[in-house]
Amino acid sequence: MLQKEIQEFLSYLESVKQYSKHTISGYKRDLTKLSGYLLNIDIEDWQSVNEHELRTFVNSERRRGLSPRSIQRVLSTSRSFFEYLLVEGIIKLSPAQNINSPKSAQLLPKAMDADLVQRLLDFKPNGLIEVRDKAIAELLYSSGLRLSEVCTLDVQDLELKERVCRVTGKGNKMRVVPVGKKAIQAIRDWLIHRKELKHSKSSSSEAMFLNNKGKRISARSIQLRLEKLCAQRGLPGINPHMLRHSFASHVLESSGDLRAVQEMLGHADIATTQIYTKLDFQHLSKVYDSAHPRARKGTKNDN
């Protein structure tokens, strides 16, 4: 009985909310844990779940070693699911509405300094695969794309003359981002070599980045290839998310334009961008000293 509503909810997320497979998989994992716990305490329908049982489930996950961030995700999943059941008339009251998520420290991904990025990207590729790897790395840093967005990119999504890229991000939202000169050149080089790969019948021939079998490249492949590029250059482990964060940090430090960075990253809420793209204190102090009337020095009133 419990699984029936879970499956209907997941179908709703896919067909109506148009969530990605990765996001739906996370919802399914959390709800499977919850339903398993409820069955162990002999609860077989969602109408019988109350706040006490949900709190007990969350506490059991905490004792099992789940981090505050993971607990937050489980509660967020539960709220969404019970809200769905409420709207569908399956339950009369959500047991999750009064349960607060635990606070967790906001850990920012590390940003690489510009010299480190240059050491990673300034190399002459040797062979088709390295040409592709360089194009991917350049694009990640040039435009701040998510790893999943690079994987789903098609050839027609890039306008090389206009130096822009159309990206389908979270929630199936489309945005257009600029692409730098070095990334454009690396992509041009890759498109020449890309023709050498035979397209798999099981994959779209429009995919921008292909693996050595001619199929659309996977996220794991990009992660492994980036690790190899770092090892070859004697660099510490760098992942795709670090390149995205470095892009955001470097653009924000240079321009101070938080809204523009928000647009390029594809964040729905500017609060996410504020957490994600931390300005160093020196920069903030400089802006404050030059802008705030009570911070300026040398005014007539000072005398």
Q: H or E segment at 174? A: strand 174-178
CATH number at residue 35: 1.10.150
The active-site residue out of 132, 225, 244, 245 is: 244
* Global confidence as pTM: 0.59
Domain stop point among 69, 87, 105: 87
159 & 274 share domain: yes
Q: Tell whether 52 and 132 lie within a shared domain.
A: no
8 Å CB contact between 141 and 111: no
Q: Is residue 244 part of a domain?
A: yes
Shared domain check, 139 and 49: no
Looking at the structure, tell me whether residues 11 and 135 fall in a common domain.
Answer: no
55 tagged catalytic: no
Range of the domain at 245: 114-285
Indicate which residue of 62, 73, 170, 193 is catalytic. 170
Q: Rounded to 5 degrees, what are φ and ψ at 122?
A: -85, 80
The number of domains in the chain is 2
94 and 86 Cβ atoms separated by less than 8 Å: yes
Active site residue 241: yes
User: Out of 146, 216, 225, 250, which one is annotated catalytic?
Assistant: 146
Q: What is the pLDDT of residue 227?
A: 92
pLDDT of residue 300: 47
Structure tokens at 234: 């004697």
C-beta of residue 133 within 8 angstroms of C-beta of residue 146: no
Residue 144, in any domain of the structure: yes
The pLDDT of residue 128 is: 93
Residue 110 is classified by DSSP as P
Q: Rounded to whole angstroms, how far apart are CA atoms 119 and 192? A: 25
Known catalytic residue: 193? no
Give Cα 177 distance to the centre of its chain: 16
- What is the pLDDT at residue 287? 58
Active site annotation includes 170 = yes
14 domain-assigned = yes
In a domain, 99, yes or no: no
195 is catalytic: no
- The answer to whether the beta carbons of residues 36 and 61 sit under 8 Å apart is no
How high is the pLDDT of residue 145?
93
Identified catalytic residue from 119, 193, 241, 278: 241
**How far is Cα 28 from Cα 7, in angstroms, rounded to an integer?**
8
Q: Do 123 and 12 fall into the same domain?
A: no
* Catalytic member of 134, 216, 225, 267: 267
- Segments of the chain with pLDDT less than 50: 202, 279-282, 299-303
Asked whether residue 280 is assigned to any structural domain, the reply reads yes
Residue 102 lies in a domain: no
Distance CA 94, CA 110 (A): 38
Q: Which of 143, 145, 187 is nearest to 169 (CA)?
A: 145
